[in-house]
Structure 1
């Protein structure tokens, strides 16, 4: 549920809070990645998008280090995440992957990767590949992009899609525990957002701070996190 506990702080005030905690504005703003251009994002091939989806799906609920260490073998087992091949995965190949020690042997996660390959293939066949759709999606409706991926993709809810998009260079916010805590402190939401209404309130807050400051969603998200954590 959205709360109405008074006006939010201006973004510059939140930067000051983060700067006091982290040793100055330069320390807060250092190392924040610059989003890629729409054309750069659109140029990312489908196999890399599928690989990114798979990485996030495998990382959910387990050590990310385990996935990182196994990643070269995972790439090999999934044939470089060839979208055409994976979208038409045979039952024998599926069963072999579930038993393959090179990968995270979770049938639901492997099925989700297969389903996302089919998702990417359908988009390409419709004439607007996934990367182009992501590139053209307006930052002012980033919450809508997350909702689309959760709805039409497989196991792309929670933070999985947001981390994927950030890793690929899309201007984005990530609702980490610290970011949520700042949003609660600002009266935007009263708990981690799970409803569309709450996500709309989050998007509105980010849009307001973006218009005030000219900062990217990525920068705003990172500053909010540093104002708490």
Structure 2
């Protein structure tokens, strides 16, 4: 494994070349929300995005997104306290609603996650305040906390939820993993807790070196290798 420091300039140059130019690469990169903005996002939007990510897992994103207005109506605009109060009969009724995606476990997860989110709201005031308080060097810990607290937020679902809502995080997608192996900055054990911690250390080094957010660093990695 090569020293990660100093390598990222080469990685970024390769990503820019494959994107067509440095400007084209820059246009492809996402920008995270600052902590103060995360703290102001409504609890209902956090629950909606979390549940949309869960339904996207294993399904075409377009299919889920096209149905989401119906989900907003069915789940009372995803207000956590109201959704947490849904009865078993409510969920059984929704499981037969043809305007929704009738996946019983995922539908049940909406209520379960609303209950968990409401406990955090009761303790911290809002879910956004709880989320905004996590620092970049606690990224893996946040992933594990989401997995432990919420239903169906394991694997890549927790990190992808964070990316969707604007919380800065790197991703360990197949392309990112392949790129890290290609550039010699990670071994092949990124699926383990130790491997994830090692990856986080690399990203934190690059974060300090480049002053780029974690989300852009993982994107640049993914864009640095040919997908042909």
TM-score by length of 1: 0.92
Work out whether residues 2 and 185 of structure 2, in 8 Å CA contact, stay in contact via their aligned partners in 1: no
Judge which range, 61-70 or 127-136, deviates more: 127-136
Note if contact 1:189-1:202 (Cα within 8 Å) is conserved in structure 2.
yes
Q: Relative to 1, partners in 2 of residues 1:202 and 1:128: Cα closer, same or farther, differing over 3 Å?
A: farther
Partner of 2:42: 45
> What SS is found at the alignment partner of 1:30?
helix
| Corresponding residue of 2:195 | 198
**Aligned partners of 2:167 and 2:134: how far apart in 1?**
9
Give the distance between the partners of 1:65 and 1:127, measured in 2 at CA.
34
1:131 paired with 2:124, answer no
Shift, 1:44, TM fit: 0.9
Structure 1, gaps ≥5 residues long: none
1:110-159 Cα deviation digits (max 9, x unpaired): 11111110111011112353211211110122111111101111101122
Matching residue within 199, 211, 218 for 2:208: 211
Q: Deviations over 1:170-219 (max 9, x none)?
A: 11212222111112223444336322111101100100111111111121
The whole-number CA distance in structure 1 between the counterparts of 2:10 and 2:185 is: 16
Q: Which residue of 2 aligns with 1:25?
A: 22
CA distance in 1, matches of 2:134, 2:66: 33
- Listed as ranges, the matches of 1:70-219 within 5 Å are 70-191=67-188, 193-219=190-216
5+ residue gaps, structure 2, are none
**Moved segments of 4+, more than 6 Å:** none
2:176–2:222 CA contact under 8 A, matched in 1: yes
How far apart are the structure 1 equivalents of 2:83 and 2:135? 30
Q: Distance in 2 between matches of 1:192 and 1:28?
A: 28
**For residues 90-111 of structure 1, what are the alpha-carbon distances to aligned partners after superposition, in whole Å with 9 as ceiling and x for unaligned?**
1110111111112111111011
